[in-house]
């Protein structure tokens, strides 16, 4: 089926009371594996390309300096991969922009084929955030594209998003934000953090989500709540990386128990990125550990060198530049490259499959109304 906007999937999560994982992808192989594992569990799927992931997929290996043109190219590449492996799928698939930096980044994603975008105005004043988000909604909704905003500041680091401390979301301001912007979803700050260092034994302030959900229900306003910075940072994966020479420290995630308890409190969409990065990096290190001859490979040997010189990092984008054609287009020049692709795909399946089960979206694909962008555009006129 064609890719679908985010709104119908969010409606299903609220009506039927399940949580939906949203998983970041930075390579064709990741998109392929994520779709396949969702199909296996008959779960709807939200695949996310972060703003700077678009830059990386546009060929910008120093993606922190990605230009708008890089992002346009990358958005088309990610969308092409998701459509290739998902357009004839039996499950609904959303392609969502994560942390859109500005209006132009959102437009680039929509023009590239995204069916949903997030505009992150959380660092702005409330009034400025409302104005920016409203402008994105005005552009996106007539095209059938759903919009997520953010209110409140999460601590931690993710691409260009950085804050040393958190500012919790004010429930009354959240309701006002929905009223003034018309967004479909809102990322809230309630105790999660970006990155792999979230602190030990984090307890989420679920009362914030409960208060927002109750107020929205009372006002008869549709709005789904989103949990950013929700990676679980599996200790066993970190330990395996460090056992093979990695130097990861102070790594703590949000417990699965806390995330599962947030779903009945009102959280619909749960963003996960770090877990996938860790699993892929672990698999890459295992490949060179098991097959030391590949360390001298003409096609992938430089990946090994990067793993050895950047032992305190775990983002595969740091290690994969030697095979950018494979990253961007899914091509594989030789068997060594195929082996790397296998590492990437297995890492995605391990993490995503686990969380599909834990969050409760197994078998929920038939509950999502499959709406085209054109149909959603007509529906937005009456909402």
- Give pLDDT, residue 157: 44
Task: Quote the CA–CA distance of 115 and 94 in Å, as a whole number.
Answer: 6
- Give pLDDT, residue 197: 56
Torsion of CA 47, 52, 57, 59, to 10 degrees: 180
Ramachandran assignment for 260, one of left (phi > 0), alpha (psi -120 to 50 degrees), beta (any other): alpha
Strands 161-163 and 156-158, sheet pairing: antiparallel
- Give pLDDT, residue 83: 96
> What are 225's strand-pairing partners?
186, 267
- Give pLDDT, residue 166: 61
Taking only the tens place, the pLDDT of each residue in 268-299 is: 999 999 999 999 999 999 999 999 999 999 99
pTM above 0.75, yes or no: yes
Question: Catalytic residue numbers?
Answer: 98
Structure tokens at 339: 């082996």
Taking only the tens place, the pLDDT of each residue in 53-104 is: 999 999 999 999 999 999 999 999 999 999 999 989 999 999 999 999 999 9
R_g (Cα) of the chain, nearest Å: 20
Arithmetic mean of pLDDT over the chain: 94
Low-confidence ranges of the chain (pLDDT < 70): 153-166, 194-201
Degrees to nearest 5, angle at CA 360 with 355 and 366: 115
- Give pLDDT, residue 167: 79
């Amino acid at each position: 089926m064609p890719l679908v906007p985010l709104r119908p999937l969010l409606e299903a999560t609220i009506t039927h009371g399940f949580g939906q994982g949203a998983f970041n992808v930075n390579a064709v192989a990741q998109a392929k594996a994520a779709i396949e594992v969702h199909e296996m569990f008959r779960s709807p799927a939200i695949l996310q390309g972060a703003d700077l992931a678009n830059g990386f997929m546009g060929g910008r290996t120093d993606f922190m300096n990605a230009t708008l043109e890089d992002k346009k190219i990358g958005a088309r590449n990610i969308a092409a991969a998701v459509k290739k492996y998902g357009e004839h799928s039996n499950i609904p698939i959303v392609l969502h922009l994560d942390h859109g930096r500005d209006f132009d980044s959102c437009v680039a994603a929509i023009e590239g084929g995204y069916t949903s975008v997030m505009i992150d105005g959380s660092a702005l004043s409330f009034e400025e955030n409302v104005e920016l988000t409203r402008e994105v909604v005005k552009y996106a909704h007539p095209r059938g594209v759903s919009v997520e905003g953010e209110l409140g500041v999460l601590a931690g680091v993710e691409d260009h998003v950085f804050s040393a401390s958190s500012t919790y979301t004010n429930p009354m301001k959240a309701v006002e934000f929905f009223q003034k912007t018309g967004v479909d979803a809102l990322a809230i700050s309630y105790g999660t953090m970006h990155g792999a260092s979230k602190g030990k034994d984090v307890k989420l302030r679920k009362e914030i989500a409960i208060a927002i959900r109750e107020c929205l229900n009372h006002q008869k306003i549709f709005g789904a709540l989103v949990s950013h910075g929700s990676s679980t940072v599996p200790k066993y994966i970190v330990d395996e990386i460090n056992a093979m020479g990695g130097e990861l420290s102070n790594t703590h995630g949000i417990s699965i128990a806390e995330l599962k308890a947030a779903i009945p409190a009102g959280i619909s969409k749960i963003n996960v990125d770090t877990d996938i990065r860790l699993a892929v990096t672990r698999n890459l290190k295992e490949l060179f550990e098991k097959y030391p001859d590949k360390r001298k490979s003409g096609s992938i040997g430089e990946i090994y060198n990067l793993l050895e010189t950047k032992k305190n990092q775990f983002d595969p984008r740091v290690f994969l530049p030697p095979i950018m054609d494979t990253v961007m287009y899914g091509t594989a020049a030789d068997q060594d490259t195929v082996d790397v692709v296998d590492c990437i795909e297995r890492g995605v399946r391990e993490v995503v499959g686990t969380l599909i089960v834990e969050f409760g979206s197994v078998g929920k694909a038939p509950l999502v109304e499959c709406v085209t962008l054109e149909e959603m555009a007509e529906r937005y006129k009456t909402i």
